[in-house]
């Protein structure tokens, strides 16, 4: 971050951006603006020089075919992404991006795909397919007094095996989650989180966007305080969308054979 700008690094927006994932970036930009924080969005494509610094990293959803096509580039940038996360830079990894940010993705056939290793976890394909509205109670640090209940949508057939001591992103209120025994979802590593919650997750859950921005700015010695008057409209849209999820959560598909 420069003296007056927060850098958001969007990794593989073309290959891993099939579920409206630019909405997560847009939510961070707009929410930061409401706190008088300017932002710069940098998009990283395979083969590019990875920026030496970033304040937030976003990795979106994408299919296994895209992950395989990225090949050696994932290995090439895995170490610096892990260094970002270890330094406290929030890495927001959603859907297939969460799988790719794990140690490896194990398909139903063919060789495993090496991941970034931001999260000590394995993403194993071939689990029961879960397609439903998703309601969670997150463990990710939020601003004081912010509600921990999140809403979104999940559509995946992946089991997430967390490494020893890895903290889940959330408890599952309604939905499938990691499908590895306990009713939990995703993973947390420092200020970073991975989840299969789509929607996209940040516009639907402004309190989570605030949590990410607070973590990003705190490590740089700057306070984060969005102006409620400037966020009133997007907060209302998010409340209405979450109310729809709550209304139909028990009527959605729960699984697909």
Q: Residue 245: which residues within 8 A CB-CB, separation 6 or more? A: 133, 134, 135, 151, 152, 153, 204
Q: How far is Cα 236 from Cα 21, in angstroms, rounded to an integer?
A: 21
Least confident range from 46-50, 123-127, 239-243, 250-254: namely 250-254
Averaged pLDDT of the chain? 93
Looking up tokens 């194993």 gives 124
Query: pLDDT of 201-216, one tens digit each?
Result: 999 999 999 999 999 9
Q: What is the pLDDT of residues 216-225, one digit of tens each?
A: 999 999 999 9
Q: Is the pLDDT of residue 247 over 80?
A: yes
Task: Return the pLDDT at 222.
Answer: 92
If you average pLDDT over residues 42-61, what whole number do you get? Answer: 97
Band the pLDDT of 122: cuts 50, 70, 90. very high
Where residue 252 falls among pLDDT bands split at 50, 70, 90? low
136 closest CA partner among 100, 168, 99, 92: 168
Is residue 251 predicted with pLDDT exceeding 80? Answer: no
Q: Region 182-192: what's the mean pLDDT?
A: 97
As a whole number of angstroms, the distance between CA 151 and CA 83 comes to: 30
* pLDDT score, position 253: 57
> 86 falls in which pLDDT band (50, 70, 90)?
very high
pLDDT digits (tens, 9 = 90+) for 134-170: 999 999 999 999 999 999 999 998 999 999 999 999 9
pTM: 0.95
- Report residue 132's pLDDT band, with 50, 70 and 90 as the boundaries: confident
Q: What pLDDT does 254 receive? A: 57
Q: Which helix (H) or strand (E) holds 126?
A: strand 121-138
What is the model's pLDDT at position 250? 78
Q: What is the mean pLDDT of residues 96-121?
A: 96
Are the beta carbons of 9 and 90 closer than 8 angstroms?
Answer: no
């Amino acid at each position: 971050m420069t003296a007056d700008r927060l850098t958001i690094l969007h990794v593989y927006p073309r290959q891993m951006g099939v579920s409206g994932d630019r909405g997560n970036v847009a939510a961070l930009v707009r929410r930061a603006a409401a706190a008088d924080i300017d932002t710069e969005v940098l998009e990283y494509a395979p083969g590019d020089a990875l920026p030496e610094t970033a304040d937030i990293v976003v990795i979106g959803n994408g299919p296994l075919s895209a992950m395989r096509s990225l090949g050696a580039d994932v290995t090439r940038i895995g170490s610096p992404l892990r260094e970002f996360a270890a330094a406290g830079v929030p890495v927001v990894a959603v859907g297939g991006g969460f799988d790719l940010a794990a140690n490896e993705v194990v398909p139903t056939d063919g060789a495993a795909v090496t991941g970034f290793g931001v999260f000590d976890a394995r993403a194993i394909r071939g689990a029961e397919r879960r397609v439903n509205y998703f309601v969670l109670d997150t463990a990710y640090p939020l601003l004081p007094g912010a509600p921990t209940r999140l809403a979104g949508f999940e559509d995946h057939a992946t089991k997430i095996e967390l490494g020893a001591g890895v903290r889940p992103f959330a408890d599952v209120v309604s939905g499938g989650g990691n499908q590895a025994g306990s009713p939990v979802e995703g993973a947390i590593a420092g200020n970073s989180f991975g989840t299969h919650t789509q929607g996209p997750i940040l516009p639907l859950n402004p309190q989570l966007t605030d949590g990410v921005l607070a973590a990003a700015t705190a490590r740089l010695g700057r306070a984060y305080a969005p102006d409620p008057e400037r966020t009133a409209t997007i907060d209302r849209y998010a409340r209405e969308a979450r109310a729809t999820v709550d209304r139909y959560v028990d009527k959605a598909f729960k699984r697909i054979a």
